[in-house]
Homo-oligomer: A and B are copies of this chain.
Amino acid sequence: MTRDEATAAIVSSRLAKGFTWQQLADAIGRPLVWTTAALLGQHPLPPDSARQIAELLDLPAEAVPVLAAVPYRGGLPTAVPTDPTIYRLYEALQVYGPALKELIHEQFGDGIMSAINFKLDIGRATHDGAEHVVITFDGKFLPYNWPSD
């Protein structure tokens, strides 16, 4: 069983059994966005969580070590996403990416926002009476550093 097969099994079993992502995250006691990403093949699950998920979703036993292994990450089927929900995030990158780069440098110095020591949150706000999706990227600032010996 490959990780892609394990992911496909999770996706269809979740729909068939009617679990929400929130219920699966609660079941293993891990943050919601992290759990969803992990179950979509982007993070290894702790072995115990892998076993719980396999049980809940009736996955075969051989899925457990596969879910617990570090996966080959990168979840988009094409370099530029075609799905409109995901595309809007890419569009924001096209329109605001260079501005964010300038401001990270102006406010923090030469470096990057880590995508490894990093968390994402999804929330909700209201502006002018309309419901807004709020997505927060929160990553450690890593200054460019050339280690001395």
Chain A interface (Cβ within 8 Å of chain B)?
1-2, 8, 11-12, 15-16, 18, 20-22, 31-34, 36-37, 40, 42-44, 62, 65-66, 69-70, 72-108, 110-120, 122, 124-125, 127-128, 130-149
This chain: copies in complex: 10
Contact yes or no, B73 A82, CB < 8 A? yes
Partner of A40, one of B73, B74, B99: B99
Docked CA distance A149–B91 (Å)? 22
12 contacts between A and B (CB under 8 A): A2-B8, A73-B83, A74-B95, A75-B96, A75-B99, A76-B93, A76-B94, A76-B97, A93-B93, A118-B146, A119-B147, A130-B140
